[in-house]
Amino acid sequence: MFHKEGQKIIVTTFFLVVALILVAQFYVSPEWLRFVVQIVALVLLILVLQFFRNPKRPVTPNFDEILAPVDGKVVVIEEVEEPEYFKEKRKQVSIFMSPVNVHVTRYAASGTVTYSKYHPGKYLVAWHPKSSTENERTTVVLHTPKFGEIGYRQIAGALARRIVNYAEEGEQVTQGQDAGFIKFGSRVDLLLPLDCDISVKLNQKVVGAKTCIASLRQKDD
């Protein structure tokens, strides 16, 4: 299954690859060069198809857990001062997506969208410390039943030049539901309350809508 955001690119790439293979078959020589051109064209098509794949991941909503919004690797776990919406300290968990990861953004929790804003910006590499505040990005905040308000940012990288965000203020959303897409390498920051327990470690690989990122801190009796 492929994401709807890739439909035009997939169709265009398919016809270009078919045309390239046919041109190579009839007009390129010697034979070894023809073979190389055709293989490169097929590899290009495979790369585009794998980038826009959208695997189904059924989720039973769990109000006690924050799930990974994307596939990738945890590159930041720290307390930060969040100046845009919360204007207070938050626990930030950042997940870096390489071009080979699934790039679908999924809602990390069920709740109501209370804030959704797009920011134009730079295209620093996604792991750059200033990418969270200076790169092209969207900021979304959800009000959840148990965690209160949580936020996430879709951040463009050096190659990512388009962020797709489906979150609309006032909308009711469900954990694991499709929240958007980022094209060609990027990062997502989760902004969580200080009183939650982080369940992942630095450099851990996570799977969107499957890996638990944080849970409610158990209160002492």
Catalytic residue numbers, as ranges: 186
Separation CA 13–CA 42 (nearest Å): 10
Residue carrying structure tokens 């207070």: 88
Separation CA 61–CA 191 (nearest Å): 19
H-type alpha helices, the chain: 7-27, 31-51, 131-134
Separation CA 123–CA 40 (nearest Å): 28
Dihedrals φ, ψ of 102, to 5°?
-65, 130
